[in-house]
Structure 1
Amino acid sequence: MFSLPNKATIIEVGPRDGLQNEGKLVSTENKLEFIEALQGAGIEEMELTSFVSPKWVPQMADANEIVSAVQKTGRQFVLTPNEKGITSALQAGAKAVAVFVGVSDSFNKKNINKTTAESMEALKPLILKLKQDGLFVRACISTAFYCPFEGAIKPEATIELCRQFVEWGVDELSVADTIGMASPQESYALFNDLVEAFPDVLMTAHFHDTRKMALANIFAALQAGVSRFDSSAGGLGGCPFAPGATGNVATEDVVNMLHRMGIETGIDIDRLCEAIAKIEPHVSSSIATGMYTLYKNRA
């Protein structure tokens, strides 16, 4: 067996990335119940919501209410696409923010109507100010492996984009296989280079399970030295601006795999499944991931 960490950190993205593309509007009360149950399962880092235009992402229209009401335990992120979003997030009481940009120009234009270079130019002064004010900043790197419009992304392009964020002082890089096309070999190669290039920055891997290779990609990233992983309870999610992207890798399946390998997460998988059971009636499709299916059958 390759050298693996004793512990790993799960960053739960279900309340934000998991629900953002959900067609059935989920009430603020149900979201808060979901978040509280996830925290009760032992999840200490979570994406709560995003401060984006409700015109484009109606599911996130209650961002202010979520941030104001949620129990502040552990590190709770909010996604902020621009200065307006950052201002709103800080006014609501957010202490950790996530910014995002796609390596692919085409994806970036579809997402926020800017090229990658234009996005970076706009983000730089915002990130510098956030760090000056002592906030935790997470940079989410979309289409790090493949783009739905441009195909394969050169690893050098992803590494260079990450380098700019590191130079501006971000605390964490969340590097995403946005449409779930990466192979374990590609996962290992890119994350090995990133960990080597940026040893002082928290490195997080974000995989979608479009082709059922997310767990294999996580295992490859573990071997490359990554011990932080984004995942979504119930496998909920999918990017509304990335055709073909299905759900995120399911938190319960990631936790099960890690625990079976002797890697601790601090998460109680039964209570995690209980949290999923709370949100399932409020989303448009039934949840049928491996560990959750076993849980329901047992229950």
Structure 2
Amino acid sequence: MATIFLREGEILGNNVEIVDVSLRDGIQNEKKILSMDTKLELLQGIIDAGARRVEITSFVHPTKVPQMADAEDICARLPREGMRYIGLVLNHRGFLRAQAAGVDEINYAIVLSDTFSQRNQGMTTEDGIAQWRDIAAGAKGKQKTNVTFAAGFGCPFEGEVPVSRLIWVLDQVMETPPDELTLADTIGVAAPRDVTERVAAVRERYPDLPIRLHLHNTRNTGLANAWAGYEAGVRSFDAALGGVGGCPFAPRATGNVPSEDLVYMFERSGIKTGYDLDKAIETAKALESAVGHEVPGMLMKAGGFPKPQTA
């Protein structure tokens, strides 16, 4: 299994890393635009809950995703000690913005289907691969890089995305290898067998490439898929507090796996996450209040178990 890090210098082993994406994927679809002060207050709660890697924003056109219009400004105000911040980019222009803003890691998305790639990024998958080569060259020695395979399990426009397509794209990406690969179930169609199959296919071909999973709970399979990923050797998972999230370019792509639900599942199973469940629930409730509507997370409603006894 590839070496993955929970915190700088700390090998995960059988424990897991939860990468918080609440303030990027989590809120990007929200109609209510959160102020920078609100975002920073939520970020502090996320840090207090135990997150040490946070995808903080995306460097995209503000008319396309208005929630991310403050990308540079928020990066200038981040608490840095003990943290690593990730910026999502969709093209070389976004990469240059992210690099100038000083994020620690670049997350570049390549969509595995051409139709979705055109809708999401205005380019074909092959064009996306070509831009990755330029981004990899520009980031070398400056930032760690992650490539996310969006629509990694299925496309809202073309349907099934075969494993052969994933491997075809991966082989080209690995000509200039990233530090990490994320398999994203962007529209929440995967079942555990799909996760097992795709993780195994990547590991068989590139056994030393660290894999992260970005799972959506659209069809209520998110936690089962995370467990399948863990059993397949994955130790790094994206999640968002309260299960908020969705993609503006993918119809019906609802929330991420809730961070606190994922923490409960792993910790209850004896697998350390580095998170404080109560603090995660508290911050999930603060996020729910900030967006102004009920969010789908379940642990924030039920609480952990066993609960402390009260008089």
Q: TM-score, normalised by structure 2?
A: 0.90
Of 176, 184, 201, the match for 2:184:
176
Give identity over the alignment, percent.
Answer: 37
1:205 maps to amino acid: L
Shift of 1:288: 4.0
TM-aligned CA deviation for residue 156 of structure 1? 1.4
Which residue pairs with 2:137 in the alignment?
128
3-state SS of the aligned residue for 1:54? coil
Residue 241 (structure 2) pairs with residue 225 (structure 1)? no
8 Å CA contact retained: 2:245, 2:255: yes
The code of the aligned residue for 1:81 comes to L
Mind listing any 5+ residue stretches in structure 2 that lack a counterpart?
A: 1-12
Aligned positions of 1:193-272 closer than 5 A: 193-272=201-280
Specify which of 257, 273, 290 is matched with residue 282 of structure 1. 290
Distance in 1, Cα, partners of 2:88 & 2:225: 24
Task: State the superposition RMSD in angstroms.
Answer: 1.7
CA contact (8 A) 1:22 1:284 kept: no
1:112 and 2:124 matched = no
SS of the counterpart of 1:199? Answer: coil
CA contact (8 A) 2:242 2:287 kept: no
Q: How many aligned positions are there?
A: 294
Partner of 1:34: 42
Quick one: which of 24, 28, 31 aligns to 2:32? 24
**Letter in structure 2 aligned against 1:11:** V
In the alignment, the residues of structure 2 paired with residue 234 and residue 159 of structure 1 have an alpha-carbon distance, to the nearest angstrom, of 33
Give 1:91's match in structure 2, choosing from 95, 100, 116: 100
The answer to whether the 8 Å contact 1:144/1:178 transfers is yes
Supply the AA of the counterpart residue of 1:222.
Answer: Y
Gaps of 5+ in 1: none
Q: In structure 2, how many angstroms separate the alpha carbons of the residues matched to 1:57 and 1:22?
A: 10
- Write the deviation string for residues 80-125 of structure 1: whole angstroms up to 9, x where unpaired: 2222212222222222111101000010000011110011112211
Could you list the per-position Cα deviations for residues 126-151 of structure 1 after superposition, in whole angstroms to 9, with x for gaps in the alignment?
212212x3310011110111100011
Q: Aligned in 2, Cα 1:196/1:74: closer, same or farther, shift over 3 Å?
A: farther
- In structure 1, the partner of 2:14 is 6
Hey, what's the Cα distance between the residues in 2 that align with 1:198 and 1:213? Answer: 27
Give 1 or 2: higher helix fraction.
1
Secondary structure of 2:76's match? helix
